[in-house]
Amino acid sequence: MVLPYKTLIIDDENLARERLKLILAGYKTHFEIIGEATNGNEAFEKIEHLKPDLIFLDIQMPGKDVFEMLSEIIHQPLVIFCTAFENYALQAFENLSIDYLLKPIEKERFELTISKLEHLHNGIPIGDILNKLKSVNDKKYPTAIPYRIGERIVLVKLSDITYFEADNKYVDFYDLNSKKYVTEQTLQSLENILPPEFIRVSKSVIVNFDYVKELHKYFRGKYILNINDLKGSKIETGANYRDQINANFNLWTKLTRGNM
């Protein structure tokens, strides 16, 4: 597939379409907008007529159900869902979705979408991503980690956490703004309950690989991970975790398989 991707925006909200177009305007080498659709029926017709490489697709719209529409189209573009609802994520990925963006779409989060698309452009089959996603069972994961402030307990959204780091008997964890929190849970107990995007990369660190911007080879089988947070954190991995890191990051980092 040749860049830029011929792109169709499908959303019934004009404001959402305009916001997305503003974001895409910053990536003209990646996207060429060839049209818009405002409901499932119109989306079906324009996908078959315009044959886009990529569609940005809202989930709840008038007309034909979007998942039904995706199952019926002959032309099969790449799909990125843009929605205000979190509970459609698994169904979205089962329909060959490359990414699942929650509205309002933030530019920082969109950088991860660009990374995934670049990976596909470098030849990593969509089937590899789907197989990884389908390997996740129906296990329920927490959506936040509690943090105690005096008599109050604040819930820090798991999707905002970049990494966890063991510090003596406590575990520190950090958000996108590099703000530090503390939990009394052990790293081992966290590893048992966290969703699959959180990868143990050393004896003392668990990283949310959605926020790994770059991965660089280090000595003795180690890597340096550049984290996409406010202070640009760098994390040294453990040599004994090399195989696990390779298996998980080769789908999502900006490195090709040949470099791994």
With H, G, I as helix, E, B as strand and everything else as coil, classify residue 126: helix
CA distance 67 to 59: 8
- Look at the chain and count its residues: 260
Q: Which amino acid is at 111?
A: E
Average pLDDT over all residues of the chain = 82
Specify the 3-state DSSP secondary structure of 20.
helix
CA distances from 179 to 85, 143, 231 (A): 27, 18, 10
> In the numeric block, which tokens belong to residue 219?
């000595």
Contact 96, 81 (CB under 8 A): no
pLDDT over 90 (residue 36): yes
Considering only CA atoms, which of 163, 103, 91 is closest in space to residue 133? 91
Query: Which residues partner with 192 through β-bridges?
Result: none
> What is the average per-residue pLDDT within 133-139?
49
- Is residue 225 classed exposed, middle or buried when 0-12, 13-18 and 19+ CB atoms within 10 A define those classes? buried
Average pLDDT over residues 86-115: 71
Nearest Cα to 181, choosing from 211, 204, 160?
160
Which residues, listed in sequence order, are joined to residue 102 by a DSSP beta bridge? 83
**CA–CA gap between residue 208 and residue 180 (Å, rounded):** 15
In the prediction, which pLDDT does 251 show?
45
Of 144, 180, 149, residue with least CA distance to 163: 180
Give yes or no for a contact between 207 and 162, defined as CB atoms under 8 angstroms apart: yes
When mean pLDDT is compared across 65-79, 95-109, 182-196, the lowest value belongs to 95-109
- pLDDT bin (cut points 50, 70, 90) of residue 124 is very low
Confidence of residue 252 (pLDDT cuts 50, 70, 90): very low
Give pLDDT, residue 81: 87
Task: Name the band, by pLDDT with cuts 50, 70 and 90, for residue 186.
Answer: very high
Helix (H) or strand (E) holding 18: helix 14-25
Q: Which domains does the chain have, with CATH numbers?
A: 5-134 (3.40.50.2300), 144-259 (2.40.50.1020)
